[in-house]
Structure 1
Amino acid sequence: MNGSYQISKRFKEVILNGTLIANTNYKDQLAGTSWELAVSRVDTLNSIAILSQHIHYYIRGVKEVFKGGTLNIRDKDSFDFPPVQSQLQWDTFLATFWNDAAEFANLIEQMPEERLKQVFVDEKYGDYEQNINVMIEHSFYHLGQIVLLKKLLSRRAK
């Protein structure tokens, strides 16, 4: 199997359908989660909604580069989202998240092997492969936070 397929599979593992590494994924954790739980806070920690939107922000931004666009995302803006105020808003966000993640994975899978080693936007950002791997690792990091927040919030509700 080629490298593009393998890295796409790793990305899908954390976001859409995997259980090999963390025994869960974003879709498993977020599907069926109420918007009230998603926006609930534990002290000063980010909410499940904010963490999910944060990961989606990067997926959407990098996806645009994969499609030939420019890199328009900034770290300073990556936690700045309007509050989710209804189940409909939450469900709409999740549907967009899953669609963008599936498209992102498809773009990776179709990426020629030689592109994986090409500079991503600017040399300071490394190559495409490095950026995709960082996206995967970053996603696992926040997935762990989401799992812990759900446990803490479910204990609080009892």
Structure 2
Amino acid sequence: MSADTAEVQVRPGAEGDLASLTELYNHYVRETAITFDTVPFTAEQRLPWLRSHPEDGPHRLLVARDAVEGAQDRVLGYATSSPFRPKPAYSTSVEVSVYLAPHAAGRGIGTLLYERLFAALATEDVHRAYAGIALPNEPSVRLHARLGFRHIGTYGEVGRKFGRYWDVAWYEKRLES
């Protein structure tokens, strides 16, 4: 299923989105092993994260909002590109992620967000994108495969959350022509 772009607005994240983005992310912190954060954040705690994703450059934040009248302009999801590792030689690699509001899953919004993110990154000096997927997460595996990521390895039992260990599969996508 693909997102109807007339019903979904994708734009760079702004400070006005912070409360909604924090609420969305905290759902995954509290309810899932998709993120290995274990304590929910306040919006104030997430502000440096938001500010680390400007409108241009290789580290971006794109937000999908419901553009249908009467839908209260609610956040449907977001995608980010962030530094892959802190050392300078990694500067042409980014780690990407996408988070969807539970009510927005299965509508093609993750695909739309990633397509817009990769289009923006095409103008940047970025060579590779990497995504880590806590397993099991078949919808995320399918999304990344559909967008041209290839599985490059799995860290076994690398994170502990909810009293158990989780594997993380790593995926890579070539971004330059």
Q: Normalising to structure 2: TM-score of the pair?
A: 0.25
- Structure having the higher strand fraction is 2
- Structure having the higher helix fraction is 1
Q: Normalising to structure 1: TM-score of the pair?
A: 0.28
Q: Which has the higher contact order (CA 8 A, sep 6+)?
A: 1
